A = this chain, B = another copy of it.
Amino acid sequence: MSREKVYNFSAGPSMMPESVLQKAGAEIMDYKGSGMSVMEMSHRSSIFADIFSETKAKLRRALKVPDSHEILFLQGGATLQFAAIPMNLMGKPGCADYAVTGNFSTLAAKEAAKYGRVNIACDSSDKGHSYIPKELSLSEDASYFYYCANNTIYGTEWKHIPDVGDRTLVCDMSSNIISKPVDVAKYGLIYAGAQKNMAPAGLTVIIIDKALAGRELPICPSVMSYATLIEKDSMLNTPPCWCIYMLVLMLDWLESIGGVEEMEKLKSYRAKLLYDQLDESRLFIPHAQPDSRSDMNVTFRTGSDELDARFIKGASERGLLNLKGHRLTGGMRASLYNAMPVEGVEALIDYMKEFEVRHNV
């Protein structure tokens, strides 16, 4: 199978490697001679159990997840975790520190306030969330410190693991997981919606220090209880089987190109190409401050809404899709997740140069 050549800069769901889609397509009617599609398999069958455990093992290997931590494959996205995290980890009467550096951390802090006291440890809204604050104001009695590693909408990324002493670190890595190595042992809980770097929408990956389980509030729904989910190995109820299968294909592909170590080089190279172009440009203005720039989501604008719209429309006409910024920010956003080829970034840069010339700057 072949297809029209497009580069999809969507902030998620997003591009997948052609080889992964080809493999999924080849197996969609008949997985390994079973006579069944993965979509038709009982989640309790041995054939699916093999897919499930292989996916877990490969993710564990890719991120060097220590034995202290369990991997869960769940549903509900980040928005479900916004509630599950405080209900499981805050205690009663509880408190937690939240770093507010974008839209998703704002929403997470707001949701957590339903279940306890939220201390805002930092807040970058004073400058349109264009930077990652260097100072944190931590509270004495917080059960955990929460931050979002990459701010998809504003295009900023934490370049360091925040120093919060012996507090439990909780991190939303939805938009930069498996783009680089991560020292998992430093985290109490990492979670990520799969639909950016990992798999189709509908899967949420949790990596949790098992020592944190079992502290949930009595009102915590069973489907959100980490203790229950660990005990049931993610199968309290039917998991999103197809998405898990797609994840193992993605992990095979990641391994084939050298794992997260190679991906880190690739994503840095890809982002640098685009940021260099932005820094040279007399038309396009990057949004994020240089030391806080995300390698996953590059945000920029011309300063004219009309010109932005013309740029986005022209891009779309040549197969450079979904460059429109989030409705909260306007402007442009190029999401460069794992599956974006360097050629996609080069095609975008060529178009940006042409567009500058055409608009006489």
Q: Taking beta carbons and an 8 Å cutoff, which residues of A are in contact with B?
A: 1-6, 8, 10-16, 18, 21-22, 24-25, 28-30, 33-37, 39-43, 45, 75-80, 82-84, 87, 111, 114-115, 193, 195, 200-203, 218-219, 221-224, 236-243, 246, 319, 321-322
Residues on the B chain within 8 Å of A83, using CB: 221-224
On chain B, the residues within 8 Å of A2 by CB distance are 29
A118 to chain B, nearest CB (A): 15
Q: Are B36 and A28 in contact (CB under 8 A)?
A: no
Q: How far is the CA of A7 from the CA of B249 in the complex (A)?
A: 26
Contact present for B238 and A35 (CB under 8 Å) = no
Known interface pairs A76-B80, A193-B238; A37-B10 also in contact (CB < 8 Å): no
Complex partner residue of A80 from B4, B82, B203, B221, CB under 8 angstroms:
B221
Q: List 22 A-B contacts (CB under 8 A).
A: A1-B28, A6-B34, A8-B35, A13-B39, A13-B40, A15-B40, A18-B29, A21-B29, A22-B29, A25-B25, A25-B29, A35-B321, A75-B75, A76-B223, A77-B223, A78-B237, A82-B223, A87-B221, A111-B221, A201-B241, A201-B242, A202-B241
Chain B residue with Cβ nearest A228: B79
Residues of B within 8 A of A322 (CB): 42, 45
Q: Do B29 and A28 have beta carbons less than 8 Å apart?
A: no
Check if B39 sits within 8 Å of A16, measured CB to CB: yes
Closest to A27 in B: B25
- Beyond A75-B202, A238-B195, A240-B202, whether A21 also contacts B39 by CB under 8 A is yes
Is A42 within 8 A of B3, CB to CB?
no
Instruction: Report the bound CA distance from A2 to B239 in whole Å.
Output: 27
Instruction: Please indicate which of the listed interface residues A15, A28, A40 has the most CB atoms of chain B within 10 Å of its own CB.
Output: A40
